[in-house]
Amino acid sequence: MPTAIVSDVHGNRHAFEAALADIERAGCDRIWCLGDLVGYGADPDACVALARQHAELCLAGNHDLAVTGALPVDDFSAWAHAATEWTKGTIKPETLEYLQSLKPNDERDGVGLYHASPRDPVWEYVLSAQQAAECLDAQPQRVALIGHSHVALSFSRPEGALAGGQTRQDGETVEIDSGEWLINPGSVGQPRDGDPRAAWLELDVAAGRATYHRVEYDVEGAGAVIREVGLPEGLAERLRYGQ
């Protein structure tokens, strides 16, 4: 049975609920989350509760680690810093306890799982073929999943060839039964590839196949909650444009 891969929820309950409903319709039997349950959105408690209920495995993202105090916010943007401080002052004790239990990398069924990259599970944005090649050299697994960049894409390196990659659209399927792979499902809660719809990936390890999915959600509702709690206006506005 296929596994649903989600990443970068960022406190966007509206998007996460829509993605979970789409995952159920697709018949996936388990969910792996690559981290950043909290961050830019205004519903961190709800998103963590949904992950606890539905995800078999969840990683820690850099925003999760910042909220727990395990990671400094020195390198965060002004918006990210504001959202982190707001989240710290808002979340329930049980939400914080769950975030503190997570780590930024893991492995399941021979597949590497990293929030950011195999070289740096917390911080590296893998957006170029050269970076991907270096990550493929570093990862012990033939196939690895990454998040963090908020862009749905995949990189591959066939045996004896150079690494290459491309962004992926809704409904695209890649055959991953040979060669080395580094796969990003895109972001559930704050896509940055020009498509505002929530992104997730359907992974079938046995069949050697990965399919990209996008699903509509209530973008205006998610933005309204951000405004209501006083987070920066730009965090609401960017949701409309997938940026």
CA–CA separation, 220 and 208 (whole Å): 37
CB 107 within 8 A of CB 114: no
CATH 3.40.30.10 fits 3-240, yes or no: no
Residue 9's φ and ψ, nearest 5 degrees, are: -70, -40
pLDDT on residue 75:
85
Q: 81 by DSSP, 3-state: which?
A: helix
Domain ranges for the chain:
3-240
pLDDT on residue 147:
98
Nearest of 156, 186, 182 to residue 171 by alpha carbon: 186
CA–CA separation, 101 and 60 (whole Å): 8
CA–CA separation, 102 and 14 (whole Å): 23
Using alpha carbons only, what angle is made at residue 140 by residues 174 and 28, rounded to the nearest 5 degrees? 40
Question: What's the pLDDT tens digit per position in 28-38?
Answer: 999 999 999 99
**CB-based burial, 77-95: b 16+ in 10 Å, e otherwise:** eebbebbbebbbebbeeeb
Nearest of 208, 146, 145, 206 to residue 179 by alpha carbon: 208
pTM metric for this prediction:
0.97
Q: How does pLDDT run along the chain (243 residues), one tens digit per residue?
A: 799 999 999 999 999 999 999 999 999 999 999 999 999 999 999 999 999 999 999 999 999 999 999 999 988 999 999 999 999 999 999 999 999 999 999 999 999 999 999 999 999 999 999 999 999 999 999 999 999 999 999 999 999 899 999 999 999 999 999 999 999 999 999 999 999 999 999 999 999 999 999 999 999 999 999 999 999 999 999 999 999
Structure tokens given for 60: 């820690």
Question: What's the pLDDT tens digit per position in 7-49?
Answer: 999 999 999 999 999 999 999 999 999 999 999 999 999 999 9
Structure tokens given for 189: 């809660």
CB 157 within 8 A of CB 179: yes
